[in-house]
Amino acid sequence: MTELETYLETIEPELRVMTRLFGFPESVWEEPKRFVPQAEEDGSAYRITFRSEGRTAVCSAPVPDDPDERIRTLHRKRAARRLCKQTLYDLCKELTGIQPPWGSMTGVRPTHLMLEALAAGLSPEEAVRKLTEEFDVTPERAELLAEIAGEQRKLPPPGDRWMDVYIGIPFCTTRCAYCSFSSGEIGDGSLVAPYMSSLEREMRACAGILRESGRTIRALYIGGGTPTALPEDAFAALLENTVTLFPGAMEYTVEAGRPDTLTRGKLRAIREAGIRRISINPQTMNDRTLEAIGRAHTAQQVRDAYALAREEQIPHINMDVIAGLPGETEKDFAYTMEEAQKLHPESLTVHTLAIKRSSRMSLENHPLPDGGMTANMVEMGRETAREMGMKPYYLYRQKYMAGNLENTGYALPGHACLYNVDIMEETSHILAMGAGGISKRIWPEEGHITRAPNVSNLRDYLTRTDEMIRRKEELFLPDPAGQGGN
Ligand code: SF4
């Protein structure tokens, strides 16, 4: 097997994503497979060929080089995989005539590519041109990336001396139909006390790891799940422990996604802990849809929660909405946007519905909404954010998204969420606690990330907390037990 063939050995899942972009059924990957790459290399260039229905696509690219063997291998592997996907993209486009909004950008972070191009010395205009030419992205999307990159460059730059902190609370009042997270319904609350006790142990240990690693906390995010689903006393204790163990972050956020979980007492606890950013997420302001997606709250409860949070002087409220929810028309989405404007959030994240495998919608074989209609909703979200004076500052894409679109975060000037940018760009170390939290160590030179995931099952987390702590010691401390480093 040649070096190039080795790099492509496990590429099929990425090629499947590519054929899905063009609406090919999964059966094209059954034997005999319809799309098989032919890989050739001559020492200085890689060459990939795909053939189908009498059409041929051929692409070639220079073989990257670097004196460091590890970096050389990483760059070569990346180049080979990108080339293979691009060649298949060209063939699929020729066969179907379809132009996906993000072109051949799959399995890569679009903003990452823009930032990479700018870091290489290109002007924003040149970077837009490069992305449209190399990846066939529409000019509107490439310009959006340039605008986002401009906003991200205003934020404090990431670096090895910083660490973000994530604390996960895996409880929700009910489960949303599109949810693929591991969080469970809080039910009778019997798991809250044991969970909070294990979490506190992990938080204390992690505060020590942060100190010993010699790094400084950057942004802290309490997410889940819905942290505000906790009873008031447990919630207040969590916030107090958080700011005591992890003081001095540039930014603290608490996810308060479900408006029906907010009380005056919890909002006061947030304010008294000095936390300035929360997220109250309607997803839609249409009661019929809220019921259909299992949110178990009303649009009026969203309005009430915003009013209460304002009364308690929470200075930054983020709002999440989803384009393409079941049964919604463009008119329904326009109504959500009108109502959003009346609530004056400081930031707005417009998601596109994605039906992920472990969600109820996937299990019920719910189809994705029409791509064209969802694209119009996403555009409406973009216009609404601009009308509110917001700028786009982060963007990401997921598998199984309606219309192969994107999720975009917008914020008023000075309100971009540092944690959101860090997590999406994967430019900052993350120390994550709680069931399902994933700690990450970034190796920017190599373009490599080492992960230490916590178990996502709540009961497993309770019995294996010490192991979760050890995993993070191994990730971040040079020699935790005097037996060698990372
Ligand atoms: S609020 Fe979020 S974590 Fe909770 S069920 Fe809904 S999508 Fe899942």
- Of 98, 114, 131, which marks where a domain is finished? 98
Considering the domain architecture, whether residues 167 and 27 belong to the same structural domain is answered as no
Residues forming beta bridges with residue 61, ordered by sequence position: 46
Considering the domain architecture, whether residues 143 and 177 belong to the same structural domain is answered as no
Helices assigned H by DSSP within 153-285? 192-212, 232-245, 264-272
Considering the domain architecture, whether residues 94 and 232 belong to the same structural domain is answered as no
Give the HSE-up count for residue 373: Cα atoms under 13 Å, Cβ half-sphere: 17
Distance from residue 179's CA to the centre of ligand 1 (Å)? 6
Q: Is the CB of 176 under 6 A from ligand 1?
A: yes
SS3 240: helix
Q: Residue 450 domain-assigned?
A: no
CA distances (Å), origin 315, targets 3, 304, 346: 55, 16, 8
Pairwise CA distance, residues 143 & 408, whole Å:
14
Q: Is the CB of 281 under 6 A from ligand 1?
A: no
Return the CATH number at 398. Answer: 3.80.30.20
Name the closest-CA residue to atom 2, ligand 1: 225
* Ligand 1 atom showing the smallest separation from residue 172 Cα: 4
161 CB burial (10 A radius; 0-12, 13-18, 19+): exposed
Q: Which among 169, 172, 230 is the best mutation to test ligand 1's pocket, defined by most ligand atoms within 8 Å of the CB? A: 172
CA distances (Å), origin 448, targets 98, 106, 225, 428: 34, 18, 28, 12
Q: For residue 390, what are its two tokens?
A: 């917001």
Q: What is the pLDDT of residue 270?
A: 98
Distance from residue 106's CA to the centre of ligand 1 (Å)? 26
Considering the domain architecture, whether residues 114 and 79 belong to the same structural domain is answered as no
- Of 415, 433, 451, which marks where a domain is finished? 433
Considering the domain architecture, whether residues 48 and 122 belong to the same structural domain is answered as no
Considering the domain architecture, whether residues 216 and 114 belong to the same structural domain is answered as no
Distance from residue 181's CA to the centre of ligand 1 (Å)? 7
Name the closest-CA residue to atom 7, ligand 1: 179
Q: For residue 160, what are its two tokens?
A: 């090895």
User: pLDDT per position in the chain (486 positions), as tens?
Assistant: 899 999 999 999 999 999 988 989 999 999 999 999 999 999 899 999 999 999 999 999 999 999 999 889 989 999 999 999 999 999 999 999 999 999 999 888 899 999 999 999 999 999 999 999 999 999 999 999 999 999 999 999 999 999 999 999 999 999 999 998 876 777 788 999 999 999 999 999 999 999 999 999 999 999 989 999 999 999 999 999 999 999 999 999 999 999 999 999 999 999 999 999 999 999 999 999 999 999 989 999 999 999 999 999 999 999 999 999 999 999 999 999 999 999 999 999 999 999 988 899 998 888 889 989 999 999 999 999 999 999 999 999 988 888 889 999 999 999 999 999 999 999 999 999 999 999 999 998 777 899 999 999 999 999 999 999 999 999 999 864 544 333
Residue of 112, 166, 74 lying closest to 453 (CA atoms): 166
| First-to-last C-alpha distance (Å) of the chain | 31
Distance from residue 438's CA to the centre of ligand 1 (Å)? 18
Distance from residue 180's CA to the centre of ligand 1 (Å)? 8
Distance from residue 255's CA to the centre of ligand 1 (Å)? 11
Computed from CA positions of residues 398, 401, 404, 409, in that sequence, does the dihedral angle turn out positive or negative? negative
Radius of gyration of the chain (CA): 23
Q: What is the pLDDT of residue 468?
A: 98
Residue of 387, 289, 297 lying closest to 340 (CA atoms): 387
Residue of 468, 475, 486 lying closest to 168 (CA atoms): 468
Q: What is the pLDDT of residue 484?
A: 38
Q: Is the CB of 407 under 6 A from ligand 1?
A: no
Residue of 436, 486, 444 lying closest to 202 (CA atoms): 436
For residue 66, which amino acid is it?
Answer: D
301 CB burial (10 A radius; 0-12, 13-18, 19+): buried
Residue of 390, 408, 451, 405 lying closest to 426 (CA atoms): 451
Q: Residue 32 domain-assigned?
A: yes
Considering the domain architecture, whether residues 250 and 115 belong to the same structural domain is answered as no
Q: Is the CB of 168 under 6 A from ligand 1?
A: no
Considering the domain architecture, whether residues 203 and 217 belong to the same structural domain is answered as yes
Domain count, the chain: 3
Q: Which among 173, 181, 260, 325 is the best mutation to test ligand 1's pocket, defined by most ligand atoms within 8 Å of the CB? A: 181
pTM: 0.91
Q: Residue 463 domain-assigned?
A: no
Computed from CA positions of residues 77, 78, 82, 85, in that sequence, does the dihedral angle turn out positive or negative? positive
CA distances (Å), origin 132, targets 60, 109, 149, 406, 415: 18, 15, 16, 17, 30
Q: Residue 355 domain-assigned?
A: yes
Q: Is the CB of 175 under 6 A from ligand 1?
A: yes
CA distances (Å), origin 366, targets 177, 293, 362: 10, 12, 6
Q: What is the pLDDT of residue 485?
A: 36
Distance from residue 258's CA to the centre of ligand 1 (Å)? 8
Considering the domain architecture, whether residues 198 and 286 belong to the same structural domain is answered as yes
Name the closest-CA residue to atom 5, ligand 1: 175
Q: What is the pLDDT of residue 482?
A: 46
Q: Residue 417 domain-assigned?
A: yes
Residue of 169, 205, 181, 193 lying closest to 465 (CA atoms): 205
Q: Is the CB of 181 under 6 A from ligand 1?
A: yes
Other beta carbons within 10 Å of 449 = 14
Instruction: Write the DSSP symbol of residue 320.
Output: E
Considering the domain architecture, whether residues 246 and 387 belong to the same structural domain is answered as yes
Pairwise CA distance, residues 398 & 404, whole Å:
8
SS3 161: coil
SS3 427: coil
Contacts of 119 (CB under 8 A, 6+ apart): none
SS3 391: strand
Q: Is the CB of 470 under 6 A from ligand 1?
A: no
Q: For residue 303, what are its two tokens?
A: 């309005």
Diameter of the chain measured on Cα atoms: 68
Domain carrying residue 71:
1-98
Considering the domain architecture, whether residues 233 and 369 belong to the same structural domain is answered as yes
Q: What is the pLDDT of residue 237?
A: 98
Pairwise CA distance, residues 480 & 390, whole Å:
45
Instruction: Write the DSSP symbol of residue 241.
Output: H
Phi/psi of residue 403, each to 5°?
A: 65, 10
Q: Residue 474 domain-assigned?
A: no
Q: What is the pLDDT of residue 183?
A: 65
Q: Residue 485 domain-assigned?
A: no
For residue 168, which amino acid is it?
Answer: G
Residues forming beta bridges with residue 321, ordered by sequence position: 283, 350
Q: Is the CB of 324 under 6 A from ligand 1?
A: no
- Of 98, 126, 143, which marks where a domain is finished? 98
Considering the domain architecture, whether residues 124 and 227 belong to the same structural domain is answered as no
Residue of 393, 402, 396 lying closest to 333 (CA atoms): 402
Q: Residue 470 domain-assigned?
A: no
Q: Is the CB of 225 under 6 A from ligand 1?
A: yes
